Amino acid sequence: MLELRDVNASIGIIPILRNLDFFIGAGETVALIGRNGAGKTTLLRTIMGFTKITGEIRFDGRPIGAMPPPARPGLGIGYAPEDRRLFSAFTVEENILLPAQAARLSAEETKRRLDRAYRILPELREMAGRPAGNVSGGQGKMVALARALMLGTKLVMLDEPFQGLAPALAQRYAEALRALRDADRSVTLIITESNPALLRGFADRTLVIERGEVAEGALEPETTPA
């Protein structure tokens, strides 16, 4: 479903990611583990089209490396960025609806997807009318997830979703991700994390990213004995 072949990515003139070469299959849940500054965010932004690349990125077999960023979500990609990035001018529900409106989905299809998002994150219904600038950090993460689900019918990418969540909320968030898994086995999930313990037992597969290079890995503890 997602294939990177020999990809190098740079921001401006600074090369950040090197020799990326991997394939992620439909329905896989992938943990992308790396320390601070390893390149997790840059990798997700690369898939969204925000970096300059060489090499090839394929989505469902189709090369998307040259596709402008706003065209990519329409392929079925939902992306919840690291710092939530909600639009504070709008309410929670307006934020969730925006991707569907940008993609000009029909009213019925929009409603169907909104219902799906609310089924996975029912607590958002109660705060639907609240200004997005007024929700707590953890709630904001839920809203960002719901927003990503609107177009993320094939691939959902979450950048450090557990970062800064209180334990109870983190629990809730993980439950929501399980509900998403159970609702649709064909959705591919890429979740980045610096602490592998948080995704233990949840991901089918782990990719480790270190200094801009990605390797197949196991969920090793962060510190290794000297």
Ligand X SMILES: Nc1ncnc2c1ncn2[C@@H]1O[C@H](COP(=O)(O)OP(=O)(O)OP(=O)(O)O)[C@@H](O)[C@H]1O
Give me the residues that bind other proteins (CB under 8 A), please.
48, 50, 68-74, 79, 81, 85, 87-90, 94, 98-99, 101-103, 147, 150-151
Q: Which is nearer to Mg ion, 78 or 114 (CB)?
A: 78
Please select the residue that binds ligand X; options are 19, 23, 37, 54, rule is CB under 6 A. 37
Let me know: does 180 contact 156? Beta carbons within 8 Å: yes
48 makes contact with ligand X (CB under 6 A):
no
Q: Which is nearer to Mg ion, 41 or 188 (CB)?
A: 41
Rounded Cα distance between 26 and 8, Å, is 23
Q: Which is nearer to Mg ion, 139 or 192 (CB)?
A: 192
State residue 74 phi and psi, 5-degree precision: -60, -20
* Residue 68, number of CB atoms within 10 A of its CB: 8
Rounded Cα distance between 32 and 54, Å, is 21
Q: Which does 103 bind (CB under 5 to 8 A by kind): Mg ion, other proteins, ligand X, none?
A: other proteins
By the 10 Å C-beta count (0-12 exposed, 13-18 middle, 19+ buried), 181 is classed as middle
Helices (DSSP H) in the chain: which residue ranges?
A: 40-48, 92-102, 107-120, 123-126, 137-151, 167-183
Whole-number minimum distance, CB 71 to other proteins, in Å?
8
Whole-number minimum distance, CB 41 to Mg ion, in Å?
3
Q: Which is nearer to other proteins, 159 or 193 (CB)?
A: 159
Q: Which long-range contacts (CB under 8 A, 24 or more apart) does 103-106 make?
A: 103/73, 103/74, 103/151
Q: Which stretch binds ligand X (CB under 6 A): 8-16, 21-29, 92-100, 150-158?
A: 8-16
Residues 6+ apart with CB under 8 A from 55: 4, 5, 6, 7, 8, 20, 65
Q: Which does 169 bind (CB under 5 to 8 A by kind): ligand X, other proteins, Mg ion, none?
A: none
Q: The tokens of 97 are what?
A: 């609806």
Please select the residue that binds ligand X; options are 9, 31, 33, 39, rule is CB under 6 A. 39
Q: Report the interface residues with Mg ion, using CB under 5 A.
A: 40-41, 82
Site residues, ligand X (CB under 6 A)? 11, 14, 16, 34, 36-42, 82, 194
